[in-house]
Amino acid sequence: AQTVTQSQPEMSVQEAETVTLSCTYDTSESDYYLFWYKQPPSRQMILVIRQEAYKQQNATENRFSVNFQKAAKSFSLKISDSQLGDAAMYFCARQGAQKLVFGQGTRLTINP
Amino acid sequence: DTGVSQDPRHKITKRGQNVTFRCDPISEHNRLYWYRQTLGQGPEFLTYFQNEAQLEKSRLLSDRFSAERPKGSFSTLEIQRTEQGDSAMYLCASSLTSATEAFFGQGTRLTVV
């Protein structure tokens, strides 16, 4: 099965600190894409960051960066300088030639 | 508004009734996905379309579920003979290709009583 696993159901971090969310995946494809999505309490899913599997360089979007380890099939998300607005469910997802598959999510709490 | 829109936002139905949801993707997006999400869980894949062709349907989907995307534009998801276990948020998403991000609608929350 081509699955996505998030082993941390919940994480919390102090405001302004850094937190890392873990994700591992399974795939038989050589060409695929990885995403982190954020779902705030209003429940509309929005994209945080995207990584192409063929690129060795880790993607970065402002305070958000990833650590992509292709051989280990690992794709973690680092949030720097955490803000109260970062509180949400975070989902890791893998997209190959076929469907987009999501992990179970990590609920991130920001402590003021 | 150029985002993904879903209708209705909320639906309450009695067990055994049929329901139909609609999704209007972003114009020119070729891919359209349907997911089901229960509280605190990740989106569970139901089915997806490439233009008007339904390319995959989850094995978790019973025969009571059917989806269409006529002419490769909007899509409908129908649930026949609803059961209490069908209560969930139904999410629709669209993307331009398999390599680009998926944009999500706000979902349709179904409650079966």
**C-beta separation of A66 from A78 below 8 A:** yes
pLDDT band at A1 (very low <50, low <70, confident <90, very high): low
**CB B42 to CB A103 under 8 A?**
yes
Question: Which residue of B1, B31, B61, B104 is the best one to mutate when testing the A interface, meaning the one whose CB has the most A CBs within 10 A?
Answer: B104
Contacts of the segment B69-73: beta carbons below 8 A, 24+ positions apart = B69/B32, B72/B30, B73/B24, B73/B25
Backbone φ and ψ for B72, nearest 5 degrees, come out as: 65, 20
Residues of chain B contacting residue A100, judged by C-beta atoms under 8 Å apart = 33, 45, 48, 93, 95, 102
**CB A102 to CB B35 under 8 A?**
yes
Q: Which residue has the tokens 């402002």?
A: A62
Contacting residues for B97 by C-beta, under 8 A, at least 6 apart:
B30, B31
Chain A residues with a Cβ under 8 Å from any Cβ in chain B: 6, 33, 35, 37, 42-47, 50, 52, 89, 91, 95-105, 107
Q: Distance between CA atoms of B111 and A69, rounded to whole angstroms?
A: 41
Residue A98: predicted pLDDT? 75
Q: Mean pLDDT across the stretch A68-97?
A: 94
Dig out the tokens for B64 from the structure. 């009571």
SS (H, E, C) B35-59: EEECCCCCCEEEEEEECCEEEEECC
Largest CA distance in chain A: 42
Rounded alpha-carbon distances, angstroms, from residue A13 to A41, B15, B101: 18, 43, 27
Q: Distance between CA atoms of A64 and B5, rounded to whole angstroms?
A: 28
For each of chain B's 113 residues, which pLDDT tens digit applies? 579 999 999 999 999 999 999 999 999 899 999 999 998 889 999 999 999 999 988 887 788 999 999 988 999 999 999 999 999 999 999 999 878 889 999 999 999 99
